[in-house]
Amino acid sequence: MPTNKPPHAWYALRRTLPPWRFDELLEELKTQLPRYRVDELIVKIDTEEFFHGQPPIQWAKNYQKRLFRVREAMESLGVVYSLNPWITVGHCDRGRDSLSEVRGMQGMVGHDGTTCRVCACPIDPAWRSHTRQVWQIYAQTKPAVIWVEDDIRTFNHLPVRFGCFCPLHMKRFSQIIGQKVTREQLVNALLSPGRPHPWRKAWLDLQGELMIDTVAFLAGAVHEISPQTRMGLMSSGPRLHCMEGRQWRRFADALADGMPLLSRPPMGNYAESELRGFYYSHDSIKLTRHCMPPGTTEQTEVENAPFTAYSKSTAFTFLEMAISFAYSAHGVTLNLFDHCGTPMQADPSMGQMLGDRKAFLTGLAKVSQLEGKFRGVRLLHHDDASRAKQLESPPQYASLYEEGQEMMQALEAMGIPTTYDESNVTAACGQVLRAFGDREIRELLCGSLLLDAPAACVLAERGFARNIGLKRIAPPAPMDSLGAWAAEEITDAHFGGGPKTLVTTRLPHLGGDPPFSMLSPVSGARIVSRLVDPDMKAGPPAMIAFENSLGGRVVVHAWDITSVFGKAFLNPARQRQYQGAVRWLSRGSAAVLATGGGVYPLALRRDCGDKTLLGLFNLSLDPWPFAEFELTDARDVAQMQLLNTSGQWRASSSLKARKKGRHITIRCDASIPYDRPMFVCIRWK
């Protein structure tokens, strides 16, 4: 739990101490935590492989004695003591059966009728009575924070994927509707194709209210015993929580219960994968922050599963931590060691990395945690996305999620940083605009909008076709059904194009048959690109740019970005096309664009008063020989410094700035390998 001391890289280690090896592991913590430079210990309770289902009351009482010993040991080290019960409602059954321990418990029931025997319905009185007793046993140890796991949701409770449709929930819903409704009737209504059935909103509203009541119950149980304990929330990503109707601000306020709240956004990448997985990680921080109340303390989830070097290298783990602090998190929660009782020093490399990298991360945090905001193209999120979304046939429950990740990753991979704050350019894809009212859409149309085909279809359907430069737009259809089209030719030089500047239509990979919308532009719309056939004969427009009567600018790309995004979509010509689109949309005032000697950048600009932080993570294995940032700012550069490996900000001959009007180019002529991200601090005159 970060304190009010000067900003630094706060380490919170999440650690399981099994009863049958407790003494040895506690002694190891006393020895190693100072060497790892850990600030906070979060004890994970009844965890993973060795969990008992809903924790037995007597087990919790017995373990409480050990927790008092942990708290005493941490106080002697100057390390903060916190707790993380592994289950709240429950993640999964894994062969356990809690029905004998929690008499009369109602298990969660999935949309297909599957019933859990450990994962409980969150409004079940038996579960609440049992959980109150267990959590109050934990609260008696006076932890600084008690973390609520991300099982506090109504999806992905194995063996149930989507729920809860138990008799308790169905009774509540039937009372709201005014008639008896069966699970089958409700599921059919929720997933009906086309315009959403009225029951979907009613169901999501009910789920949202019941989960607000559930977290209020948890916080109340803790604060009845330990009023000073703060509550922390692990979440699963706002786009997924749309499927359960989460009302973020009210949910967060209920859990906080009058105290400052902590948030643990998921970073994903639990095992080492492509470096490009970090696009998700950084976006999760920004999007979750966008949904949480101001003043929330953020400690990201950096996790290595299944907890050996075979799963994740120290280099990959460091990058995840660096992304956390680069994007202004207050700390990281480190779930790096197994839950089977293996000593941490069985693999000393992870702890060594934590100690060695602390200075660098603290130097980064001293700038990134200054009050400020990220700059870039604005992305959209709406809590009501699942309420408004129209499903296709055959419908899938998972399709209720909110689109947006692919648009984010496409922009970021092309050196176009994104934000959820106000910006002079907004990008929208999929059906997210269905959740916005007409007044909100008109406000967007008065600014600058980048749209994919489904988003443009939504606006045309709502009567705004002329405002986005179209007479008509056809729904996306498989490319092969539209003719023999070979490539997209980018023809407009202001968008990086020219004769025979071609990008494949075989998206998202070379064997793809991607969805494409036939556009009928209005007079005055600018054709940026078009399809061509195998003989280079010009076909329908693929991207148009249009200035509407409201004074706004719109770019429409005829692809369904959610379906077509992939390696074949990305291309140097595509990067020039999209960066050109952002320049045009912003009227030459793009907040930040990044280019350089490589591909797959993750770049950032954060303005903090008289300072600006620029950063670039190279998410490819080839080093970048240089990087350039194109900024718009009326101020003059007074000083530039690079962050060195020792965590110090120093002037460098590799940094150069040139300014023409409000346009500034910052160039760094230094190698940027994947494992050494580059950060520049600009001080303005």
> Among the residues of 553-601, which ranges form H helices?
561-564, 572-585
Question: Which of helix, strand or coil describes residue 78?
Answer: coil
**What gap in Å lies between CA 585 and CA 354, rounded to an integer?**
43
CA-to-CA distance for 304 and 267, rounded, in angstroms?
11
| pLDDT band, very low/low/confident/very high, at 5 (cuts 50, 70, 90) | low
- Tokens 């999007």 belong to 287
Tell whether 161 and 195 lie within a shared domain: yes
Q: Do 72 and 211 share a domain, yes or no?
A: yes
Here the tokens at position 481 are 């059904």
Total structural domains in the chain? 3
Kindly state whether residue 2 falls inside one of the protein's structural domains: no
Query: What average pLDDT does the segment 272-278 reach?
Result: 94
Q: Is there a cis peptide before residue 293, judged by omega within 30 degrees of 0? A: no
Tens of pLDDT, residues 59-91? 999 999 999 999 999 999 999 999 999 999 999
Residue with tokens 């592991």: 25
Closest to 616 in 3D by CA, of 413, 441, 478:
413
Summarize pLDDT for 655-677 with one digit per residue, the tens: 999 999 999 999 999 999 999 99
- Shared domain for 337 and 202, answered yes or no, is yes
- Claim to verify: residue 481 and residue 601 sit in the same structural domain: no
For residue 684, give every residue at least 6 positions away whose Cβ sits within 8 Å of its Cβ, in sequence order, or none. Answer: 610, 611, 612, 633, 635, 636, 637, 638
In sequence order, the β-bridge partners of residue 527 are 544
Picking from 319, 346, 370, the residue at the C-terminal end of a domain is 370
Tell whether the model's pLDDT for residue 466 goes beyond 90. yes
Q: Clarify whether residues 298 and 355 are in a common domain.
A: yes
What does the alpha-carbon distance between residue 681 and residue 638 come to, in Å, rounded to a whole number?
11
What are 302-327's pLDDT values in tens digits? Answer: 999 989 999 999 999 999 999 999 99
Q: Which secondary-structure segment (H or E) carries 680?
A: strand 678-684
- Domain-terminating residue out of 346, 370, 394: 370
Interatomic CA distance for residues 603 and 607, integer angstroms: 14
Same domain, 190 and 231: yes
| 503/493 Cα distance (integer angstroms) | 15
Angle between helices 198-225 and 183-190 (to 10 degrees): 110
* Mean pLDDT (whole number) for 107-134: 97
pLDDT score recorded for residue 163: 86
CB 251 within 8 A of CB 291: no
Return the pLDDT at 4.
Answer: 58
pLDDT grade for 562, boundaries at 50, 70 and 90 = very high
Segment 353-365 shows an average pLDDT of 97
Do residues 675 and 581 share a domain?
no
Residue 274 has pLDDT above 70, yes or no: yes
Q: In this model, does residue 377 exceed pLDDT 80?
A: yes
In angstroms, what CA-CA distances link 279 with 269, 486, 617? Answer: 10, 30, 10
- Does any domain span residue 1? no
Please provide the average confidence, as pLDDT, over all residues in the chain. Answer: 96
- Looking at the structure, tell me whether residues 541 and 629 fall in a common domain: no
Q: What distance in Å separates the CA atoms of residue 516 and residue 541, rounded to the nearest whole number?
A: 11
Kindly state the tokens that stand for 547: 């200035």
Give backbone dihedrals phi and psi of 379, rounded to 5 degrees, phi first: -105, 160
Q: Which amino acid is at 237?
A: G
Is residue 108 in some structural domain? yes
What DSSP letter does each residue of 280-304 carry, written as one string?
HHHHHHHHHHHHSPTT-EEEEEEE-
Cα(341)–Cα(49) distance, integer angstroms: 11
Is residue 166 a part of any domain in this protein? yes
Q: Which run of H or of E encompasses 332?
A: strand 331-335
Q: Among 565, 588, 611, where does a domain finish?
A: 588
Q: CA-CA distances (angstroms) from residue 634 to 584, 607, 611, 661, 670? A: 19, 13, 13, 7, 27
Helix (H, G, I), strand (E, B), or coil: what is residue 547? strand
> For position 498, which CATH number holds?
3.40.50
Mean pLDDT within 524-531 = 97
Percent of the chain clearing pLDDT 70 (strictly above): 99
Both 345 and 434 in one domain: the answer is: no
Is residue 626 assigned to a domain?
A: yes
Cα three-residue angle 490-566-316, rounded to 5 degrees: 130
Q: Is 144 in contact with 82 (CB distance < 8 Å)?
A: yes
CATH of the domain at 314: 3.20.20.80
Residues 281 and 420 reside in one and the same domain = no
- What is the C-alpha to C-alpha distance for residues 597 and 416, in angstroms, rounded to an integer? 15
8 confidence band (pLDDT: 50, 70, 90): confident
**Token digits for 59?**
């087990």
**Burial per residue of 416-426, b for 16 or more beta-carbon CB atoms within 10 angstroms, e otherwise:** bbbbbeebbbb
* CATH code at position 606: 2.60.40
Write the DSSP symbol of residue 142.
-
State which residues form the domain around 240: 10-370
* DSSP per-residue codes, 436-488: S-HHHHHHHHTSEEEE-HHHHHHHHHTT-TGGGTEEEEPPPEEGGGS----EE
User: Do 580 and 598 have their domain in common?
Assistant: no
Strands (DSSP E) found in 357-422: 373-374, 377-379, 418-419
Distance from C-alpha of 503 to C-alpha of 346, rounded to nearest angstrom: 50
pLDDT higher than 90, residue 288? yes
